[in-house]
Structure 1
Amino acid sequence: MGKLRIYGDKRSGNCLKVKWTAEHLGVDYEWIDVDVLSGTTRTEEFLALNPSGQVPAVILSDGRVLTQSNAIIVYLAGLNNSALLPSDLYTRAKVDEWLFWEQYSHEPCIAVRRFQKSFLGKADEELDPQLLTKGRRALGQMELALQGANYLVGDVLTVADIALVAYTRVAHEGGFELSEFPAIRQWVARVERDLLIDQVEAA
């Protein structure tokens, strides 16, 4: 039985979710850097690991492969019987709500606009204006949910918070003004403290 191996790019929020969850849970892991901009994820070797050509991908201690960031963090939390994954069925379903929403309504706008703007160097006029509109709408929904609440679900940190904080904390790199969302800013700082990760200063 080997240690967990995480293939990821540290510029990717999806990959950082897995790294942070593993560290929070005290999971022994090996990080394998994969530069997504270099074409590494399209090599025959990597596609044999993950046919979708995406990171993160993990090789579990028993040699099995698991992909998709939210599936991985749920697995790790469940494997360790962690409070990151609620035992109550309804509360767990509320966590799942946020996980599905993050990949459908949040990441495709906020992460995509950040990638195109900060990593591909595209000017605002080259970007789909709907990315900004839909991203702001997603942040607005989070702001409402976090008003008067410390976390997205219940009173403790869950994988829902880890999944959502990854790209929300760097949303300013995609042109989203987090100063307009005070509850989100407080939540981001709280989750960063919980995970013992450096705070990101918005521009």
Structure 2
Amino acid sequence: MLRLHDYLPSANGYKIRLLLHQLERPYELVPVDIFSGESRTEAFLQKNPDGRIPVLELEPGRFLAESNAILLYLAEGTPFLPDDRYERAQVLQWLFFEQNGVEPNIGSVRFWVLTGRAAGRAEALRLKMEQGHSALAALERHLKTRTFLVNERYTLADIALYAYTHVAPEAGIDLEHYPAVRAWLRRVEAQPRYIEGPAPYTPNAHVSAPAAHAR
């Protein structure tokens, strides 16, 4: 059985759990407390040298890190990943966009705000929120005339972008000015076997802990 090493408040981990649920794939969840250093132990670093979650354990001794790489592995041969070469490349385009434009900005601000690390980061917060809004504006332009991100089908692209976009308000990023994005979020949530997430961070928890290795 698959084993997912994960920290439940992470939206990167949530996207994996959402896909597994929608694929009806059984798996064992292995909680990793990133604040107590569990992702920096020698044992964990053998699973992922970068010391980050999520990590998917395919079988004993075989591990896969990076959330979007895990999504691609799990979706191979399923309707979530198109067979058509161009459509598949479009899915990849949005996965790259998510990790370059959405996760580092919306994800980082959400992490700082919800774990009490926002103090003293005023300029960094301003820049990341500005870049987060820029990413949302790009999504809004694309979704104004589309039901889903790629060829009017629900794919990995939607799962990957949904994970951090729908929790943008937790980062103080209002979605009021993005009506097409909000409508798309509702369509994602209407998909079969949708599950809610990610779990909330405990407010101001672990403020004095070393920088964690997930968002």
TM-score (norm 1): 0.91
**Where in structure 1 are there 5+ consecutive unaligned residues?**
none
**Which letter maps to 1:10?**
L
Q: Deviation string for 1:56-97 (max 9, x for gaps)?
A: 00111464111100000111000xx21100000001000100
> Is residue 173 of structure 2 the alignment partner of residue 176 of structure 1?
yes
State the SS of the aligned residue for 2:36. Answer: coil
CA distance in structure 2 between the aligned counterparts of 1:33 and 1:62, rounded to whole angstroms: 17
Say what the alpha-carbon RMSD is for the aligned residues: 1.7
Q: In structure 2, what is the Cα distance between the partners aligned to 1:140 and 1:124?
A: 27
Partner of 1:73: 71
- Offset, 1:127: 5.0
Q: Counterpart amino acid of 2:173?
A: F
Displaced runs of 4+ in structure 1, greater than 6 A?
none
Q: Which amino acid aligns with 2:91?
A: V
Q: Partner amino acid for 1:166?
A: A
Question: Separation in 2 of the partners of 1:46 and 1:176?
Answer: 33
Shift of 1:121: 4.2
Q: Which runs of 5+ in 2 are unaligned?
A: 199-215
Residue 20 of structure 2 corresponds to residue 22 of structure 1: yes
Matched AA of 2:157: A
Q: Which moved more, 1:19-28 or 1:119-128?
A: 119-128
Aligned pairs for 1:37-186 (under 5 A) are 37-61=35-59, 63-78=61-76, 81-123=77-119, 126=122, 128=124, 129-186=126-183
Retained in 2: the 8 A contact 1:189–1:199?
no
Q: Distance in 2 between matches of 1:124 and 1:134?
A: 19
The one-letter amino acid paired with 1:110 is I
Alpha-carbon distance in 1 for matches of 2:166, 2:13: 14
Percent identical among aligned pairs is 40
Secondary structure at the aligned position of 1:198 is classed as: coil
* Kept after mapping to 1: 8 A contact 2:13/2:67: yes
Count of aligned pairs between the two proteins? 196
- Tell me the CA shift for residue 193 of structure 1: 2.0
